[in-house]
Structure formats: structure tokens, C-alpha cells
């Protein structure tokens, strides 16, 4: 697992453009959108709109980093290394975990960059050290789920063009049908129901409560952690199942 992780990390840093591209759009959202929309959102009582949208941007950059991790499978297939790994004496779970952990590591690197930049906009974690630990846990669960899903989808599809199209079709609706950019109180009707059914809404709300210094209630955070733990196991099992099918072909 560590060998595969290190192999993918070397590829990533030999191709730093993959990191720049995946963090560029979220940075634009964080800096430019918060500056423009923040003026209008002051009427809703939101003081620091950059702090308000930071949780949603964190989730978006995690999506982007994990989605780009799936591209590695297509590169490995094109140069033949994917098939060499399949016949090597390596456990299938180590193959999957090694690649997933690389996407998770890149997610944390990019999230750290976001938090550092957000300091320039007076964003602070209001819940202290415990809040920081909870943020790390929630980001890890988000990245683990998305990296497993991206790995599974990348093995389903014939090329990276279709893969990127499918991932955008998944990621963008998830992002916009959440509370990433607007407070839940501004939503009503069927849209409010759709947003509440989106599991990432609850990740974003939890991160926002932690960053803004809201009261941390176990009854609010624990169900989100349990839900995403189950989702992580599900995406990992899907990735494992598809890789084993590749081995049998």
C-alpha cells in the first residue's frame, strides 16, 4: 500500500498542474465570489461571508482533488502499469487504499492552502482545538468516500473524457444542491427537501458550525460521522469489487 501511495505521490508532484487546476476554481469561489456575494448577504445577518462559504468550498476542493485521483487509473492503463500491478503479489485492498490515500493527502494539502488564504479574510476556527480535530475527521470522511467513488467510476468508464464528464455531472449538482453558498433558512418547498436529503449538506453545516464557533452538540455531529462512515465503507467495497472484476477479465 505504501509503495503504491508513494508512486502516486511522485506522479502527482511531477505533474503539479494537477494540483493547481483542482484548487484554482475553489480559490476563485472563495476569493471572488465571497467578495461579490458577501455584499448582498450582509442583509441576511451573515457578518463574514468568506467564513460562511469556506465549508462548502472545502468540500468542493475535496471533490476536485479526489476526482482527479481517478485520472491516475487511465494514465496507468495507457502505460501498462495498471495491469502489471494486477499480476503483482499485492493485496487488492492495498492497491485501492494506496490510490485513495494519495487523493486524501492531496485533499488535505489543498484544504490547508484554502484555510491559510482564508486567514487573510479574518476567518478563524471558533471552536478551538477540538473544532480543528473535528474538521480533520469530517474532511477525511468526505475525501475517503469521494476517492473510493472516483476509483470505482474510473474503472467503469472507457476513457478520461467520459470520466470527467460524469464526475462533473455528479459533483456540481451535489455542490449546488447544498447549503454551500446560502443559509438553509432561505430555502423552501421541494428545493429545501432536496438540499436536506443531500448528505454533504450536513457535512457543510457541521463544518460551518465548527468554524463559526457555534455550539458543538454530539447529537448533531455524531449522526453525520456515522452516516459518512457507512458511506465510506460502501464506496471502498464498490472500488474493491470493481478492481476484482478487472482482475478476472
Supply the pTM of this predicted model: 0.88
Alpha helices in the chain (DSSP H): 2-14, 17-28, 34-41, 49-79, 81-87, 92-118, 128-156, 160-176, 189-197, 199-211, 218-248
HSE of 47 in the Cβ direction (CA atoms, 13 Å)? 4
Q: Give per-residue pLDDT as tens, 187-240.
A: 778 888 899 999 999 999 999 999 987 677 777 899 999 999 999 999 999 999
Give the number of domains in the chain. Answer: 1
- What is the distance, to the nearest Å, from the Cα of residue 169 to the centroid of all Cα atoms in its chain? 15
pLDDT 10s digits, 11-39: 667 766 666 777 777 777 777 777 666 66
d(CA 173, CA 108): 23
Beta-carbon neighbour count of residue 7 at 10 Å?
Answer: 17
Residue 127 phi/psi, 5° resolution?
-100, 10
pLDDT digits (tens, 9 = 90+) for 105-125: 889 988 998 898 888 888 888
Task: Determine the straight-line distance between the first and last CA of the chain, rounded to whole angstroms.
Answer: 23
Give buried/exposed letters for 26-38 (b at 16+ CB in 10 A, else e). bbebbbebbeebb
For residue range 120-144, what is the model confidence (pLDDT) as tens digits? 888 888 888 888 999 999 999 999 9
Range of the domain at 16: 2-248
Amino acid at each position: 500500500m505504501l509503495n503504491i501511495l508513494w508512486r502516486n505521490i511522485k506522479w502527482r508532484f511531477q505533474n503539479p498542474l494537477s494540483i493547481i487546476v483542482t484548487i484554482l476554481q475553489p480559490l476563485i469561489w472563495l476569493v471572488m465570489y465571497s467578495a461579490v456575494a458577501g455584499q448582498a448577504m450582509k442583509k441576511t445577518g451573515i457578518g463574514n461571508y468568506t467564513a460562511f462559504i469556506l465549508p462548502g468550498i472545502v468540500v468542493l476542493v475535496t471533490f476536485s482533488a479526489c476526482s482527479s485521483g481517478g485520472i491516475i487509473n487511465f494514465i496507468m492503463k495507457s502505460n501498462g502499469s495498471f495491469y502489471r500491478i494486477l499480476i503483482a503479489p499485492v493485496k487488492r485492498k492495498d492497491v485501492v487504499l494506496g490510490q485513495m490515500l494519495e487523493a486524501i493527502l492531496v485533499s488535505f494539502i489543498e484544504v490547508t492552502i484554502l484555510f491559510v488564504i482564508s486567514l487573510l479574510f479574518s476567518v478563524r476556527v471558533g471552536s478551538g482545538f477540538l473544532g480543528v480535530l473535528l474538521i480533520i475527521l469530517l474532511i477525511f470522511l468526505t475525501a475517503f468516500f469521494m476517492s473510493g467513488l472516483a476509483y470505482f467510476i474510473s474503472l467503469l468508464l472507457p476513457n478520461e473524457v467520459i470520466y470527467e464528464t460524469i464526475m462533473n455531472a455528479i459533483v456540481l449538482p451535489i455542490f449546488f444542491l447544498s447549503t454551500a453558498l446560502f443559509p438553509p433558512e432561505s430555502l423552501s418547498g421541494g428545493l429545501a427537501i432536496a438540499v436536506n436529503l443531500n448528505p454533504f449538506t450536513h457535512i457543510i453545516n457541521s463544518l460551518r458550525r465548527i468554524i463559526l464557533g457555534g455550539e458543538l452538540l454530539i447529537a448533531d455531529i455524531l449522526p453525520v460521522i456515522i452516516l459518512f462512515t457507512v458511506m465510506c465503507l460502501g464506496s471502498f467495497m464498490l472500488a474493491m469489487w470493481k478492481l476484482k472484476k478487472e482482475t478476472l477479465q
